[in-house]
Amino acid sequence: MTNTYAPILLFVYNRPEHVRRNIQALLKNELAAESELFIYSDAAKDETSQAAVKEVRAFIRSIQGFKKITITERAENWGLARSIIDGVTTQINRYGRVIVLEDDLVVAPHFLQFMNDALETYRDEERVGHIQACDFTHDPSLPDTFLIKWTGSWGWGTWDRAWKHFNADGKALLTELESRKLTYTFDFNGKYGYTRMLRRQIEGKNNSWAIRWNASLFLKGILSLNVGKSLVQNEGFDGSGTNCGGGGLYASELYMERLPVKKISPIEENIQARNAYVRYYARTNSFMAKAIRRIKRTLKGDFGA
């Protein structure tokens, strides 16, 4: 470690207003001034995105308020998966730990404190490989922090010792999930299609790094520290992103107080928390729930998928 606090990796593309809100929220964190910020700006995929990418790049060059800012402007369009895998690998090999954000995330004022506290508390705990600071379940039964065998990708952190388990080969991950008969559990008792997401990545129908990271740690039996009070809000479900939609399904209310981190003992999955996710996905991902959401969107004039 070359500094006390984990570096922040921010991945941006063509949404200037989202980037502005992201930075404004980050700067409300006291630890922003003591944290290094690495911004990865992807190049335009086509001509229609060039003006917005240019506007994003003009804004990020004007940012102040962090300990140090390093900007990487891609000369060609890498896509989010390649950019995140490269950025995380590069900086985690240098710093040993990272905090990762995408441009459509807004964080609470104590987000950086929580992430750094958690990264320090669990730094030598091999059975914990991921920190996730977003909750979208709104389940009151969840404790402030808990361990679960699942990795969320909206405001997260990890260590080099865990990232070494990342397997970019989706086909190998799927083969192991199926051979070990783990797909039902991986899918929260069949209530959410994470296995289908992985299959679609293999088929080239999505390019998700997150599903491969999720499967990589799941197969190793490595846990994630999650929160029952959300320190991250995803604003990407407004039609502006590559993977959007949701209709408020994953909305979260920011917790504005400091969230203490106490090491959980024993280090094992919180089965009650897993069941809370099963209930959430059963409620929101059933055929009936999807049909009702589609009808509501259609009545509002939203004819998207």
- The confidence score (pLDDT) of residue 301 equals 64
Question: pLDDT for 78-108, tens place per residue?
Answer: 999 999 999 999 999 999 999 999 999 999 9
- The confidence score (pLDDT) of residue 4 equals 82
**Tally of CA atoms within 13 A in the half-sphere of 207 that contains its CB:** 9
Rg (CA), the chain: 19
Fill in the DSSP letter of residue 56.
Answer: H
List residues bridging with 102 in a β-sheet.
11
The stretches in the chain having pLDDT less than 50 are: 1-2, 242-246, 293, 303-305
- What number of other Cβ atoms are within 10 A of residue 283's Cβ? 12
- The confidence score (pLDDT) of residue 299 equals 67
Residue 121 CA, chain-centre distance (Å), reads: 20
248: CB partners within 8 A, 6+ apart: 237
- The confidence score (pLDDT) of residue 248 equals 65
Q: Which domains does the chain have, with CATH numbers?
A: 8-165+222-299 (3.90.550.10)
Question: pLDDT for 15-73, tens place per residue?
Answer: 999 999 999 999 999 999 999 999 999 999 999 999 999 999 999 999 999 999 999 99
Q: What is the pTM of this model?
A: 0.92
Helix (H) or strand (E) holding 74: none
Instruction: Give exposure, 89-111, as e/b (b: 16+ Cβ within 10 Å).
Output: eebbeebbbbbbbbbbbbbbbbb
List residues bridging with 12 in a β-sheet.
41
Distance of alpha carbon 284 from alpha carbon 101, whole angstroms: 25
